[in-house]
Amino acid sequence: MRSSETLNEPKSHKKSFFPQFQNTVAVLLSNPAAVSLKGQLESAVERLGNRARRVLNLDLPSASNATPPFARITLESGGMTPLSIEKRLSGIPVYALSNAAGEFVLVSGMRTGRSLGLLCLKREDAESLLNQMKSMNQEMREGSKVVAVSLDKVFQLKVDGVAFRLIPDPEQVLNAAKMKDGEVLHDFPGVPVFQSKSLILRSQGKSYRPAFFRKEDLEDSLHKASSEQRKFNPSWRKGDIEVFVLEQIVSTMKGSSTSDWDDILFIPPGFNEANPAKGDKT
């Protein structure tokens, strides 16, 4: 997803970018280069038709499933296929808005006529956006709600005239920005994911590098792994946690026959995965 120049001129399937992250909804409302969100909502709230609804399965895999999606992943040889990439993203929730008819709500640019689908990594941000919409558009007040969408479905979407934008968790953007040479930056070029060289998962003779959408989840996993092995590895405190951009990782997976990311394992936010096999170095 490319950097979003304005809300009026979304660029499809490129890296997302927002200039501030202290309050995601405030960013959308205060973007000086964009027509006001109020004007866009009042003049052009659109519905995504049946073509996209067939792709957007609004139900995540059942939480009662004993085997989480990432546990079923197998490493591919000779590069990553689209299906393999989708498996890596399966079970990661993002949050969209739907109307009373169960259709995905879009924001439209007044000048271009193109539509923007906003997908939040944090449910609270989607709820705030919904409240803003309800206050501005009467049609949104009845039956509209926040729905969870699996991230692999988002990367499958290809709808003419529609650009989809991932809105990162503002707290994690701040965590990522602080990690860049210790300097607090005003922006971060996409959705941050966090990894540590000290945490490797092994399953059926395969090694995987877990990538977390919340820095706190990675830190908890490192603490638990150290505790379970009855030792403490202090190296992770300084320089051992690294931050990457989700959109850039996916782009690399798609564009190369051999990828440095073919052993990545995306961990859903809030999921504590800290059970490396005995003998792993953490």
**Average confidence score pLDDT of the chain:** 70
**CA pair distance 190, 252, nearest whole angstrom:** 14
Q: CA 276 to CA 257: how far, in whole Å? A: 29
At 171, list the tokens. Answer: 């707290």
Does residue 128 register a pLDDT over 60?
Answer: yes
Q: Answer whether residue 68 shows pLDDT above 60.
A: no
Name the least confident of 78-87, 94-103, 118-127.
78-87
d(CA 169, CA 191): 8
d(Cα 44, Cα 109) in Å, to the nearest integer? 8
Residue 37 banded pLDDT, cuts 50, 70, 90: very low
Q: What are phi and psi of 143, to 5 degrees?
A: 85, -10
Return the number of other C-beta atoms located less than 10 Å from residue 278's C-beta. 8
- Confidence check: pLDDT of 16 > 70: no
Taking 70 as the threshold, does the pLDDT of residue 129 lie above it? yes
The CA distance from 167 to 147, in Å, is 15
Q: How large is the average pLDDT for residues 38-53? A: 42
| Predicted TM-score (pTM) of this structure | 0.69
pLDDT of res. 198: 83
Dist CA 3 CA 190 (whole Å) = 8
Mean pLDDT of 199-227: 88
Residue 254 pLDDT greater than 70, yes or no: yes
Query: Three-state DSSP class for 227?
Result: helix
Q: For 251-264, what is the mean pLDDT?
A: 78
- Average pLDDT, integer, range 263-270: 91
Q: With a cut of 60, say whether residue 261 has pLDDT above it.
A: yes
> CB within 8 A of 132, min separation 6: which ones?
25, 29, 37
Measuring CA to CA, which residue among 156, 142, 163 is closest to residue 12? 163
Which domains occur in the chain, in start order? 24-75+92-169 (3.40.1350.100), 174-267 (3.40.1350.100)
Across 42-46, 142-146, 219-223, 257-261, least confident range: 42-46
Whether residue 121 has pLDDT greater than 90: yes
* 8 A C-beta contact, residue 149 and residue 94: yes
What is the longest distance spanned by two Cα atoms in the chain? Answer: 61
